[in-house]
Structure formats: C-alpha cells, structure tokens
Amino acid sequence: MSLRVCIIDGYDDEPSGLGVPPYLDIYARYTAGAIWLANPHAEILYLTVDQLRSNIGYYLKELSKFNCVIFIAGVAVPGRYLGGMPIRLDELKMWSRLLIEPVKILIGPVVTFGFGVEGGRTAILPKEIKRDFDYMFHPSFEKQVYELTLNNFKRDLKLPISERDPHFIAKVAVRGAKIVTQHPNYGFNLICEIETYWGCPRYIVGGCSFCIEPLYGKPKFRAVEDVIEEVKSLYNAGVRHIRLGRQPDLFTYQSKEVGEREFPKPNVEAIRKLFKGIRTVAPALETLHIDNVNPGTVYHHREDSIEICKTIIENHTPGDVAAFGIESADPKVVKLNNLKVYPEEALEAIRIINSVGAKRGYNGLPHLLPGVNFVYGLKGETEETYQANLDFMKEVLNEGLMVRRINIRQVMAFPNTPMWEVGDTIIKRNKKLFKIYKEKMRVEVDLPMLKKVVPTWTKLRNCYVEKHGGGGTYARQAGSYPILIFLPYRRDIREKIDVVVTSHGFRSVVGIETPININNAPRKLLKNIPGLPKSTLRLIMKKRPFKDLDEVKKLIPKDVADKLEIEV
C-alpha cells in the first residue's frame, strides 16, 4: 500500500514571500519534493484551504484515510486578497482535532511567529494547538519532512534540527515542481514564487525594528544554476508565470560583500546570468517579474542598480514592480527603527528606477516601477510622521515620477523583534490619524498616480477574468501587484481578455473588454465607453444588429471611434 499524504495550503504572506492564489509559494512545492525525494511512489494530494472549505465534510472524511496531513499557514503581512482567504486560527484548531488517524504536521511561518492580526501584537500559537499536531516545522521544514518520510511518518520521532541547506533545496525544488498541476489556478494565472536566498543583508546592523527576516540570520544564496533548474522544471510542468520574489532584496543576490557592509555591492553579473538563464530554459514565459528591492541598495549603488534594471527589462515582462520598503519618511522614525533609507535617499532611489523603467511596454504598463511600503505604529511616530509620508508622496507625484502602488499598513509586532515590547500601543494611540491620513493618501496621491500609470484609453493586454462581484466582474493581469480591473457587467470567468481603461478608482480601474462586438456587447459595457453620448447609446441599442462597421462608425463621434476596436 502506497504512502498517502495530503498538503493543505492555508496560504502564507511574509515580508519576502507570497502564497495566496494565484501565487504558489515554496512551502507546498518543497514539501512535495521532499516527500517524493524520500519516497518516489508516495501519493500526494494538494488542496487549498478554499477547496477544503467548499466541501469540508467530504474532505475530512476522505483525509481520515491518509497517512499524513500537512497544513501550511502563516500570514505575517496580512492584507485583502481577491484570490483566496488564508486559514483562520479557529479553522486550524477545529480541523486538526477532527483528523484523528493521520499524522498531522504544521508547516510555515505560523510555527515560529504565530498568527498575525493587523494592527497589533501577533497571537502566539496557543499551547492547545501544539498538542493537536504531531510535528511542527519551520524554517528548515524540507529536511525534516524528508526524514519523516524515510521513517514512514512515525509518531514521536526525535528529528534533528538542522539549518536550511541550499544544495538540498535544489533537489526538492525540482522534485516538487509537478505538484503545480493540482493547483486550482493551474493552466490559468498560476504564478510561482521563486526563492533566490533567505536572510536579510542588514542583519549585521539588526535590520528594521519590526521585521522577521533578520531572524533568519546571515543570507544564504541559492546557486544561479539551481534557481534556473527549478524554473525549468516548473516551466516543463506547465507554469507560465514566474516571480523572483522570495528574498528581501533581489539586487543583493549573490553579493560578495554580504556580512561585511550594511548595503553590499550588487553582483551585476550573477543577476544577468540568472535572468538570461531563465529566459533560455523558459522562453515562452508570459510573466517574469520581481518583488523586493532595498531602496538603500539602489541609492548607495546607483550605477550597478541601473545596470540591473536594464538586465531585468531586457528579460522580464512589463508591469514589473520593485517593492521598496521605505516604511517612513519621518527621519526620527527612520532612526529609532533602524530603517533602510532617509527621505532624500528614498526619493533618489525612486528617481533611479524611473529613469530606466518608466517606458511603457507591450502589455500597456510601464516596464519597471517602484512600489512604496509605509508601516505605521513604529517607535517615535507622531502626527508629523503622517504628514511627512503624505508630503513625501506628493513630492514624488509633483516631480512627475511614477510608483506602481502605495501599500499602507499597521505594524504587527512579532516575538524576538525590537517592536515586540512596543506592540500595538502606538497604533491604538494614533488610530484616528491612521484613518484620516490613509484617506488623504488615497485621494491626494493614489488616484492621480494611478491615472498617470494607466491613463484612460490604456489597453491592458492579457487580463485574467477571475471573479464576479459588485454587480460586475473582476479581472487582473498576472504579475507583481497587478491592477484590479472592474468590468461593470457580468461575463464568463476563467478567460483571458484585453481591456481598455475607462475610469479610475483610488487603487483600481474600471474597464471594458476590447475589441467590442457592437451587436453582442452588454448595455453596461457600451455605457462605460468614455465620450459616448447617451443619445448615441440609445441609437446603437435600437439599431442593432449592424451588418458593417461603417454603419456603426457613422453613429459614434470620430474622436471616440478612432480609439475603439469594434467588431460586428
């Protein structure tokens, strides 16, 4: 009888890694790889927590027949997600208790850092949950799952605790690639998060006061060849969307000065080799994006950063985002929390990325823009902090610079970080300020910035229609921080379309698909064509169906007709 294991993906969101659909992070892939490395004949079932919720009674009954059930959980950077809802603490407690027969394992950031709740202290994992699992693994989960599989998932084994090993990870990453075929987003907009290294280069100065990444210690780099080989395996398994997102700062990948300097010199050649290699083994990738970049690296190593940006743009797909953890534009807060950059340095880093990446690409978006993260509730915060952040972003806007998105969140305090002693005291004190200034940022910066990044009539290509809601349909491109598009009418989901932007919200746009079939288009679609008079809309509805385009174009104002793709 073959070994049967179920991996339940409760999703993860960390400072340097995302695993909420359509993203698939390393945990499920490496876990599957470790099992198959130890036992090639093992039967592995992958389920998302949303799939489990959809038919909980059936799945719990079936899972009771498995040898082992592995839960993945850990949201350290909570947010709102279109693609899925992370597992809740009460669900984890209840489901683990209902599964009596299988060996139960808990994997992921939740094991080390507990359950995060935005705007306050994290809830440390209660003792009663620990009793409901036979094993809990993090961060060196791959080797422990491997050892456990070799021992047929026996209970009460004393497994040695070991550090994560890049060479071992190279093996399990390739072996586990085929698990992607079981993901509900497979064949659609599934995007795999790729790890290039772990640990923060700023660990030598302690890192930011709130961040868990320095707790992983000195960075350990994966070999360029190993990362390329993993991408090749995923590509051969059918993955067409890749993000090099699992690292605190992509620009310091393979830096020879890590451990010597707070802002080590980038290894431009290693990054060039990585991107060229990925494009060689995965030539038809539809998405190749990055994520985290330290603005301090960009500021202190201008020329190297420009060269890296050029390499990225030569090999990636447009709409890419270098997420900057600026965190605060208040110098006092920067100093007290050991943040990466002071305001003038952050502004210069934004200028540098814009100088290379602002050019618009084939899919309608600028090639490579910064993203800006602000964290509130840090030590030293006052009302001046909120105003400083707003003024900083207004300066960015007034200079004509672009950022893809501004992420505003309240700090979560984790054990063993300097912010743990502070907790949520500052957030509670400044709760009203947070709401007031968040709204100001949305109205005074986000809206005009989004209009700059994607002006009206911008054609956004290859948008994935994901979900119904709000009387319409939601779509997004695949990639880092894709713009949410609201189609003001219902249409079939799980299709890929091109969209024309018709209007803007603070963080999303309204659009209509293109080309427009004038005879079949819903009234709500036609109603949202910019500049189309109501009288013309009534005439179109009355005279449909049309036999030729000339007949239609006679009705529509020329300046509007020239911008539309119309079919009959």
| pLDDT tens column, 231-246 | 999 999 999 999 999 9
pLDDT for res 130: 86
Among 163, 162, 194, CA closest to 24? 194
| pLDDT tens digits for range 421-473 | 998 899 999 999 999 999 999 999 999 999 999 999 999 999 999 999 999 99
Among 84, 89, 47, 50, CA closest to 69? 47
Structure-token pair, residue 531 = 């500049």
Taking residue 164's Cβ as centre, other Cβ atoms within 10 Å add up to 18
> Running DSSP on this structure, what letter comes out for residue 559?
H
Backbone angles phi, psi at 498, to 5 degrees: -100, 145
pLDDT for res 129: 82
Using CA atoms, how far apart are residues 408 and 403, in angstroms rounded to an integer?
14
Using CA atoms, how far apart are residues 124 and 137, in angstroms rounded to an integer?
15
Using CA atoms, how far apart are residues 17 and 26, in angstroms rounded to an integer?
8
- The pLDDT confidence band at residue 418, using thresholds 50, 70 and 90, is very high
| pLDDT tens digits for range 273-286 | 999 999 999 999 99
String of b and e for 325-354 (b: at least 16 CB within 10 Å)? bbbbbbebbbebbbbbbbbebbbebbbbbb
pLDDT for res 95: 96
pLDDT for res 80: 76
In angstroms, how far is CA 33 from the centroid of its own chain? 23
Whether the Cβ atoms of residue 312 and residue 360 lie closer than 8 Å to each other? no
| pLDDT tens digits for range 275-317 | 999 999 999 999 999 999 999 999 999 999 999 999 999 999 9
- The pLDDT confidence band at residue 160, using thresholds 50, 70 and 90, is confident
Q: Which of 32-41, 118-127, 160-169, 178-187 has the lowest mean pLDDT?
A: 118-127
Flag whether pLDDT at 194 surpasses 60: yes
Among 329, 335, 342, CA closest to 384? 329
Flag whether pLDDT at 112 surpasses 90: no
Instruction: Give the type of residue at 89.
Output: L
Q: In percent, how much of the chain has pLDDT > 90?
A: 88
pLDDT for res 388: 99
Flag whether pLDDT at 322 surpasses 90: yes
pLDDT for res 267: 99
pLDDT for res 458: 98
Instruction: Give the type of residue at 531.
Output: G
Taking residue 551's Cβ as centre, other Cβ atoms within 10 Å add up to 12
What is the 3-state composition of the chain as percent helix, strand, coil, each rounded to the nearest 5? 40, 25, 40
Taking residue 493's Cβ as centre, other Cβ atoms within 10 Å add up to 14
pLDDT for res 66: 98
Whether the Cβ atoms of residue 289 and residue 231 lie closer than 8 Å to each other? no
- For 196-211+248-453, CATH gives 3.30.750.200
Q: Exposed, middle or buried: residue 561 (CB in 10 Å: 0-12, 13-18, 19+)?
A: middle
Segments of the chain assigned to CATH 3.30.750.200: 196-211+248-453
Mean per-residue pLDDT, 357-380? 98
Among 179, 205, 191, 317, CA closest to 261? 205
pLDDT for res 216: 87
DSSP of 29-87: HHHHHHHHHH-TT-EEEEEEHHHHHHTHHHHHHHHTTSSEEEEEEEESS----SS--PP
Query: Could you tell me where the beta strands, DSSP code E, fall in 292-342?
Result: 292-293, 320-327
pLDDT for res 500: 97
| pLDDT tens digits for range 479-519 | 999 999 999 999 999 999 999 999 999 999 999 999 999 99
pLDDT for res 367: 99
In angstroms, how far is CA 510 from the centroid of its own chain? 22
Flag whether pLDDT at 119 surpasses 60: no
Flag whether pLDDT at 389 surpasses 70: yes
In angstroms, how far is CA 368 from the centroid of its own chain? 16
Compute the radius of gyration of the chain from its Cα atoms.
Answer: 25
- For 4-166, CATH gives 3.40.50
Half-sphere exposure of residue 352, counting CA atoms within 13 Å on the CB side? 26
Segments of the chain assigned to CATH 3.40.50: 4-166
Among 173, 83, 176, 174, CA closest to 478? 83
pLDDT for res 362: 97
Flag whether pLDDT at 116 surpasses 80: no
State whether residue 326 is helix, strand or coil.
Answer: strand
In angstroms, how far is CA 180 from the centroid of its own chain? 17
Whether the Cβ atoms of residue 315 and residue 270 lie closer than 8 Å to each other? no
pLDDT for res 320: 99
Q: At what angle do helices 166-175 and 141-150 cross, to 10 degrees?
A: 70
Instruction: Report the 3 state secondary structure along 141-201.
Output: HHHHHHHHHHCCCCCCCCCCCCCCCHHHHHHHHHHHHHHHHHCCCCCCCCEEEEECEECCH
Q: Which residues are 290's β-sheet partners?
A: 244
Structure-token pair, residue 149 = 């599989």
Structure-token pair, residue 539 = 């005439």
Q: Exposed, middle or buried: residue 173 (CB in 10 Å: 0-12, 13-18, 19+)?
A: buried
Mean pLDDT of all residues belonging to the chain: 95
Flag whether pLDDT at 382 surpasses 80: yes
pLDDT for res 123: 63
- The pLDDT confidence band at residue 162, using thresholds 50, 70 and 90, is confident
pLDDT for res 121: 59
pLDDT for res 79: 66
Mean per-residue pLDDT, 93-100? 94
Flag whether pLDDT at 77 surpasses 80: no
Residue with tokens 């290693």: 270
Whether the Cβ atoms of residue 525 and residue 488 lie closer than 8 Å to each other? yes
Mean per-residue pLDDT, 401-413? 93
Query: Could you tell me where the beta strands, DSSP code E, fall in 411-488?
Result: 412-413, 459-469, 472-477, 484-487
- The pLDDT confidence band at residue 122, using thresholds 50, 70 and 90, is low
